[in-house]
Structure formats: structure tokens, C-alpha cells
Amino acid sequence: MDADDISLPTRLAKQLAFMKQNPDVGILGTQIVPIGSACHGSSLALPCTHEKLFPAMMKGKHGLAHSSVMIDADRLKSIGGYWSLRLIDDWDMMLRMGETARLANLGEVLVHYRVHSGSLNGTSMMRMHRSIAYAVDRARRRQTDQSPISYEEFSQALDNAPFIKRCAEQMHVFALAQYRLAVAERCGGKKIAGTFRLVLSALCSPQRTIERVGRMLSSVLQHATSDSSSTTTIGSNASLPENAALTSCASSAHTKTETRSLS
């Protein structure tokens, strides 16, 4: 986590309890929301199960928020820990962990991460994009018993790719940069500028936009299902002693408040 990110008070306890109950999990993250000087954004609606997480990360898509993860130390040592190579160390480590253990996310928002528009530019986004792509390439080579290549060789191959592929890569990185700038601007109170960048990002990368909308809709449906279950549970407490019913309702209300106020 960066110094200005926020971890909610219950985060570590909830993650520790989950990992004790699920010893096959090597890395456990949480849902996160961006925050700025004016407001916070909405949850990224990250997948929660290994079956969805690992394939997504193998495609270079966001699956685990590194600032939110709890890691099994013994498993981390067994896979060799983090790399010394800059930027790709976390993605590479999470993929290596996913090859030997399960990855998971809690469905609750337990981390706020600070977004700054000044820290984002095309050069840094391209370097990050290629670092993730290289980590994925190394994972694929491990899984197919192929020899690894250096980052320089990998990057040179992309530079020498056909013109259409190079344009597609540039467009993807541009769309990603615009999306992150849009989030930073909207959280910083620049709603109009942020909305314009969101539209621009959607036009440049419609497939990613569709996937983001799909994740958001799935998250909304999950919350709706959770609300229905909570209502049923509270209703069933009518036959309990008055104090017990009040305690149950208060606990449920606290959980909802903590989650909804951040999502």
C-alpha cells in the first residue's frame, strides 16, 4: 500500500479468518475503490474465485489489487518470492502463486486507493502494459515447458510486430491511460473532464468497456441477492427474543453500512 491509501479496520481480521478456513488459498485480496480529493469512485468489482481470477490475469486483466492482498508467507518463499525486476514483480509473483495455490478475493470493499492524475502518462502506462504482458508471457512459457526470454527480447519483438499490431497496442495503452485519468479526475471533482475521458476510453477500447460494465452489473446483482438474503434473515428473527433480534439487525446494518458507503 502507498502511504495515502486506506485499509479499513476490519480488513486484516476478515482476510486472516478466510485464509485459516481456506488453507489452499495462497493470496487473498479484497474489493477496492479509488479515492480522490473530492470523493470516492465505485468498486472495481474484481472476480472472487480462482477459476475466474487466474484466467483473467493470464489475459493481462486486473484480478488482484496488490495493495489489498494477504499472502501465505510459506508459499511465497516456496515459489521464490518477488522478482527484482521493476514493475512486473507483483504480477509475475501472483501468476507463479496461482500455478501452485488458489487465488481469491473477498467480495467486500476493504481498501481505498488514492488516485493522482499527475502520476499517469503514456510512457509509464506503456511500460506497465509491457511489464504485465511479459509476466504473462513467462507464465505461458512455464506452463508449456518453453525456455524464457529476456524482457529486452520480448519488448524488441513487440517493437518489430506488424504495423496493425503495433497500432492496436498503442490504442489499448491510450485507452487505459484515459480511463485511469478519468477515474482520477472524477474523484478529484472534475466530473465533466473525467466523463469526457471515459467516453474517449470507451471509444478506443469498446471490448474493455463492455467487460467493465459486465463486472459492475454482476456486482450490483450480487449486492441485490445479498440484500434479499439479509431481509429474509431479519424477518425470520421475529420469533427470537427482542434483544436477540435487535442485535442481529444491528450487526446486519453495520455490515451494509461499511460496504455500501465505500462501493
Query: Which residue is associated with the grid cell 453500512?
Result: 257
- Whether residue 47 contacts residue 53, with contact meaning beta carbons closer than 8 Å, is answered with yes
Query: Which residue is associated with the grid cell 509475475?
Result: 92
pLDDT given for residue 141 in this prediction: 96
| pLDDT per 10-residue tile (average), the chain, 263 residues | 83 96 96 83 87 95 92 94 76 94 96 75 80 94 93 93 92 86 83 87 77 62 58 40 29 34 34
Q: Where in the chain is the domain with CATH 3.90.550.10?
A: 1-114
pLDDT given for residue 232 in this prediction: 46
pLDDT given for residue 257 in this prediction: 33
pLDDT given for residue 186 in this prediction: 84
Query: Which residue is associated with the grid cell 507463479?
Result: 96
pLDDT given for residue 87 in this prediction: 62
pLDDT given for residue 122 in this prediction: 63
Cα 190 from Cα 46, distance rounded (Å)? 25
Q: With respect to CATH, is domain 1-114 assigned 3.90.550.10?
A: yes
Integer distance in angstroms from the first to the last C-alpha of the chain? 19
